[in-house]
Amino acid sequence: MGGTPTAQADTPLFKQVAGPADDIAAGLTALPSPERLGIRSHSAMLPVHLVRDINGTWRWQTAIPLDSTEELTFVLLSPHSDEWTIDVQSPGAAPMRLNDASATESTFGFDGASYPATVYHFDKSAPAGTWTVSVTAPTSTARGATPDGYLIVGSESPYRLYAHLRDYNLHVGREIGLVAYAYDDTSAVDGEAPTPLRTAKQVLYARVQQPDGRELTLAMYDDGRHGDKQPNDGVYGATFTARQAGTYTAQVVLQGVTPEGTAFLRTSQHVFPVIDATASLGKQAVGVPVDDVRMRLTIPVQGLSDGATVQAYAEVWGIGATGKPVPAAWIGGMSEVRNGVATLTFDTRWLGYANVQPPYTLRNIRLQDRETHIPLATSHAMSLMTFSVPKAALQRVSTITDEMLMGPRPDAGIAPMATGGKLMLVHGYCSGGNPWPTSHFSNYAVFQDYNQNRSHDEFARLIRDYGAQFPSFGIVAHSQGGAASLHLYTYYWSGLDYSSGSRLIQTVGTPYQGTALAGNLALLGEIFGIGCGSNWDLTYDGAALWLSGIPSWARSRVHYWTTSDKEVWWRWDYCNMATDPILDDPEDGVVEKWSGQLAYGVNHGHKEGWCHTSSMRDPAQTSDYSRNSEMNLYGNR
């Protein structure tokens, strides 16, 4: 059974999201630090701008410094690359034409956001040094600053580029910062920002394309005045003022010299939104009892239009047994701004559970954009005025209930009467069809929103709306569909909350922490003119902002798997040879193993020999009959 989602006419049923103080202590709900979320690049993505010579031939030539030729790979990306001729000249050698015999046709990206790529792979005998690459073509199709194509050059050199946004104040009129530096991957620590390579001679700059297509070229400085920390510390920064709302792309370019004296070149590709919305919060929230258990908290806000839906978060603090302030819980969820206030509902049993007394305060309050999760307004603390509290606040509680985490479950209105629950099969970002073999599943329904680019929030609401025809459902999801399903379970009432079984949400290949491909795909979409467009939620930054609102209890209901190519000693190992220079092993051609991890989720392990989609070397991860049979057996319905 399959179907396309349709919009519901009813007002969305938001959950009353809350979580224990343990989430706060673990840093699970804190806004992320962008300096820990940088792209780690061991490749260079070079724009190919063809120029007509005196003979009428269109040419492009460049010198590329290579400090290593281990796993040296060239990837040519252009809608007209089949008409191009490419020649390379390594140090001390004659020019060599890369003809069809040495080329492998591949694709760069995934699903509907895949672009044709021609890949050239060199053996270890190729010398390091400066290589010359030349491209000739019968014509040029470039428009304005947009290149004719790109050439990606990658190797397994330990000397890499680390680049990130300075902060998440991504608003029109604000200063946007980019930070970057070289580092040695052999001394990097997993999960930590690497140490800058201060001994390397470096020149860094950034190319920023604005929403209207105009391009800025920004020099990057190590002077302590461009968001780069201290002068001469090896960290470089550049800033510009955002004048337009919309999607920006940026490419950071590093020209450096290794400690051994060998020149190298790296780039990183970024995509980020700038929104035309800001707000400010008042200094005092008001709490009014709704019933014997719940309290409605109103937070004063200026700058947002009436009826705007925002993602809200606040920590509720009181006085603990030692007489010092302690957190009782955090509250959040979607909130509609009405008459200058954002409203959240708080189950006061959290006060009894934490054994805290008045006066109460709110801390680390924030309102975020619903689609991008970019902070709109923040406040370190504000007082909470309460003239009275519900009876539940005065009673000791020893157990956390579902009502404390999500609010009272609606008795009706989520799903009409229908014949039994379903296991919903959900695809991912820009998918051209259902990736799941339906013969592997029983009593299923197929969600269909093909060839679309959705934020996690929009994707989640479409799943909810399609599932409203069933009394209940569980989910088996691929790629972004897994994150959208978790978003749905966190923020909205749906058939998920009425299902039964062992596993609520099961996913494979979901980039819970984003993918490095997101920025590259944004640049390629500009030259190919096809695809689904950029997706902020699939970047490292967007994913981290999104995860900061996802509680531990919701994550614990997700069962997930990651996969990668089958590694053997006698061949070049990859899932997708075109994306291999961009991603860090192990990866499935789209998602790196580390970025597919979900803290507090149920990790069912990593399996080799399976790739993200069917267009890659090993079979598609969604076609694994063994895993699919397990998911079918244990999936909620």
Q: How far is CA 248 from the centre of its chain?
A: 16
Q: Is it the case that residue 374 has pLDDT exceeding 80?
A: yes
The torsion defined by the Cα of 215, 197, 193 and 563, in degrees rounded to 10, comes to 80
Q: How far is CA 291 from the centre of its chain?
A: 39
C-alpha–C-alpha distance, residues 20 and 175, integer Å: 36
CA angle 396, 390, 296 (to 5 degrees): 120
**Residue 466 maps to which CATH number?**
3.40.50.1820
Q: Is it the case that residue 344 has pLDDT exceeding 70?
A: yes
Q: Is it the case that residue 7 has pLDDT exceeding 80?
A: no
In a domain, 31, yes or no: no
The neighbouring-strand residues paired with 116 are 107
Cα separation values, 101 from 18, 84, 152, 249, Å: 60, 15, 19, 35
**Banded pLDDT at 12 (limits 50, 70, 90):** very low
Q: Do 254 and 346 fall within a single domain?
A: no
Tally of domains in the chain: 4
Q: Is it the case that residue 516 has pLDDT exceeding 70?
A: yes
Q: Do 373 and 299 fall within a single domain?
A: yes
Q: Do 350 and 389 fall within a single domain?
A: yes
Span 413-444, pLDDT tens digits: 555 555 689 999 999 999 999 999 999 999 99
Q: Is it the case that residue 145 has pLDDT exceeding 70?
A: no
C-alpha–C-alpha distance, residues 580 and 71, integer Å: 10
Q: Is it the case that residue 5 has pLDDT exceeding 70?
A: no
**Residue 545: closest CA among 466, 469, 441, 455:** 455
Q: What is the pLDDT of residue 110?
A: 75
> Residue 167 carries which side chain, given as an amino acid letter?
D
Q: Do 256 and 291 fall within a single domain?
A: no
Q: What is the pLDDT of residue 53?
A: 87
Beta-strand relationship, 284-289 and 375-386 = parallel
Range among 132-136, 277-281, 632-636 rated most confident: 632-636
C-alpha–C-alpha distance, residues 466 and 221, integer Å: 51
In a domain, 192, yes or no: yes
Beta-carbon contacts of residue 351 (< 8 Å; ≥ 6 apart): 316, 318, 328, 360, 389, 392, 393
In a domain, 628, yes or no: yes
**Residue 243 maps to which CATH number?**
2.60.40.1930
Span 125-141, pLDDT tens digits: 788 899 999 999 888 77
Token couple for 447: 């969600």
Q: Is it the case that residue 8 has pLDDT exceeding 50?
A: no
Q: Is it the case that residue 521 has pLDDT exceeding 80?
A: yes
Q: Is it the case that residue 9 has pLDDT exceeding 60?
A: no
Span 203-237, pLDDT tens digits: 999 999 999 999 999 999 999 989 888 888 999 99
Residue that is written with structure tokens 């209930």 in the block: 401
In a domain, 594, yes or no: yes
Q: Where are the alpha helices (DSSP H) in 319-441?
A: 349-354, 402-406
Helix (H) or strand (E) holding 467: helix 456-467
In a domain, 522, yes or no: yes
Q: Do 270 and 284 fall within a single domain?
A: no
Angle between helices 540-547 and 480-491 (to 10 degrees): 20
> Residue 628 carries which side chain, given as an amino acid letter?
N
- Judged by DSSP in three states, 311 sits in strand
**Banded pLDDT at 530 (limits 50, 70, 90):** low
C-alpha–C-alpha distance, residues 184 and 258, integer Å: 9
Token couple for 64: 């590329």
Q: Do 545 and 629 fall within a single domain?
A: yes
In a domain, 264, yes or no: yes
Span 283-325, pLDDT tens digits: 999 999 999 999 999 999 999 999 999 999 999 999 999 999 9
Span 485-494, pLDDT tens digits: 999 999 999 9
**Banded pLDDT at 404 (limits 50, 70, 90):** very high
Q: Do 176 and 224 fall within a single domain?
A: yes
The torsion defined by the Cα of 220, 225, 229 and 232, in degrees rounded to 10, comes to 70
Which of 381, 406, 431 is at the close of a domain?
A: 406
Q: What is the pLDDT of residue 10?
A: 41
Once rounded to an integer, what is the mean pLDDT over residues 154-159? 93
The answer to whether 275 touches 242, Cβ cutoff 8 Å, is no
- Phi/psi at 630 (nearest 5 deg)? -65, -45
Beta-carbon contacts of residue 393 (< 8 Å; ≥ 6 apart): 295, 348, 349, 351, 352
Q: What is the pLDDT of residue 571?
A: 65
- Phi/psi at 150 (nearest 5 deg)? -135, 150
**362 lies in which domain range?**
278-406
Beta-carbon contacts of residue 329 (< 8 Å; ≥ 6 apart): 18, 19, 20, 21, 315, 316, 346, 350, 353, 354, 404
The neighbouring-strand residues paired with 216 are 208
The torsion defined by the Cα of 371, 375, 381 and 383, in degrees rounded to 10, comes to -40
Average pLDDT of the residues of the chain: 91
Q: What is the pLDDT of residue 198?
A: 83
Q: Do 204 and 119 fall within a single domain?
A: no
Instruction: Name the least confident of 35-39, 144-148, 323-327.
Output: 144-148
**Residue 374 maps to which CATH number?**
2.60.40
In a domain, 465, yes or no: yes
In a domain, 614, yes or no: yes
Token couple for 630: 């397990």
Q: Do 381 and 424 fall within a single domain?
A: no
The answer to whether 258 touches 67, Cβ cutoff 8 Å, is yes
C-alpha–C-alpha distance, residues 479 and 97, integer Å: 39
Q: What is the pLDDT of residue 203?
A: 94
Q: Do 399 and 415 fall within a single domain?
A: no
Which of 220, 246, 274 is at the close of a domain?
A: 274
Which of 406, 421, 446 is at the close of a domain?
A: 406
The torsion defined by the Cα of 31, 245, 240 and 236, in degrees rounded to 10, comes to 40
Q: What is the pLDDT of residue 240?
A: 97
Q: Do 228 and 182 fall within a single domain?
A: yes
Cα separation values, 556 from 349, 464, 552, 601, Å: 22, 20, 6, 4
Q: Do 506 and 611 fall within a single domain?
A: yes
Q: Which residue has the higher pLDDT, 104 or 248?
A: 248
